[in-house]
Amino acid sequence: MYKIITFNANGIRSAARKGFFRWLAGQDADAVCIQETKAQEDQLKDDPMYYPLAHNYYHDAEKKGYSGVALYLKHPPQTVRHGIGWTEIDCEGRYLEAVYSTHSIISLYMHSGTSGDERQQKKEAFMAKFAPWLQARAQAGERLILCGDINIAHTEKDLKNWKGNLKNSGFLPQERQWLTDLFAGGYRDAFRLVNNEEHQYTWWSQRGNARANNVGWRIDYHIISANLASLVESASIYTAEPFSDHAPLTITYRDLA
Q: Which residues are annotated as a binding site?
A: 8, 36, 149, 151, 245-246
> Catalytic one among 149, 158, 189, 220?
149
Hey, which residues does 2 pair with through a beta bridge?
253
Whole-angstrom Cα distance, residue 127 to residue 121?
A: 10
Whole-angstrom Cα distance, residue 43 to residue 47?
A: 9
Contact yes or no for 232/255 (Cβ under 8 A): no
Kindly state the DSSP code that residue 76 receives in the 8-state scheme: -
**246 tagged catalytic:** yes
N- to C-terminal Cα separation, the chain: 9
> Catalytic one among 2, 57, 58, 109?
109
**149 tagged catalytic:** yes
**158 tagged catalytic:** no
What lies within 8 Å, CB to CB, of 257 at 6+ separation is: 2, 30, 75, 100, 102
Q: At 36, is the secondary structure helix, strand, or coil?
A: coil
Kindly give the interhelix angle for 117-139 and 173-184, rounded to the nearest 10 degrees. 10
> Catalytic one among 189, 201, 246, 253?
246
Annotated binding site for Mg(2+): 8, 36, 149, 151, 245-246
Catalytic residues: 109, 149, 246
